[in-house]
């Protein structure tokens, strides 16, 4: 069983819950979710589906997701005005190059790399918001951890054997 949950960070309240069997791929949940204009969706990289992300973009929604290591893209523009003391490493706009990817998502995207020294990990984000600062993006993504806190609360307070899959 997988529980896919959309959590509104303004109150840590779920606004969408979808339960599937274990064979249901996480990214398919984006076909069920109706994106809200101006909403910002923070997602794990298992949810990367360029067709669905493009529909979110066209709906006026924003997304921040972890980028796959194998993503094929070309640089459009690089922001070289980065203070690496903040943890930022790269901020650039890109176009997808893979034949299928660029067909499914033809708009410009953004890649932000952030080194989290607390966890000693380099995080690479894929974003459709070209206006927010790179540091805002990194800080925003940290809020995604709230979904894990929510699942922990569920496991401690409700009788559920397993919960998997967080949006």
Q: What is the tens place of the pLDDT at every residue in 121-139?
A: 999 999 999 999 999 999 8
End-to-end Cα spacing for the chain: 15
Residue of 162, 97, 18, 52 lying closest to 111 (CA atoms): 97
Mean pLDDT of 58-81: 94
Instruction: Record the pTM.
Output: 0.81
Tell me the average pLDDT of the chain.
Answer: 86
């Amino acid at each position: 069983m997988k529980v896919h949950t959309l959590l509104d960070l303004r109150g840590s309240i779920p606004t969408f819950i979808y339960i599937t069997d274990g064979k249901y791929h996480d990214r398919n949940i984006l076909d069920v979710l109706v994106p809200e204009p101006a909403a910002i969706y923070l997602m794990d990289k298992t949810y990367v589906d360029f067709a669905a992300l493009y529909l979110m973009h066209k709906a006026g929604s924003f997304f921040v997701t972890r980028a796959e290591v194998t993503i094929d893209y070309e640089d459009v523009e690089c922001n070289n005005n980065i203070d690496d003391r903040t943890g930022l490493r790269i901020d650039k706009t890109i176009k997808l190059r893979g034949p299928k990817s660029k067909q499914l998502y033809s708009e410009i995207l953004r890649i932000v790399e952030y080194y989290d020294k607390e966890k000693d990990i380099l995080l690479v984000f894929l974003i459709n918001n070209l206006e927010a600062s790179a540091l805002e993006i990194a800080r925003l993504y940290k809020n995604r951890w709230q979904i894990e806190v929510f699942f922990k609360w569920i496991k401690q307070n409700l009788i559920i054997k397993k919960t998997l899959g967080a949006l």
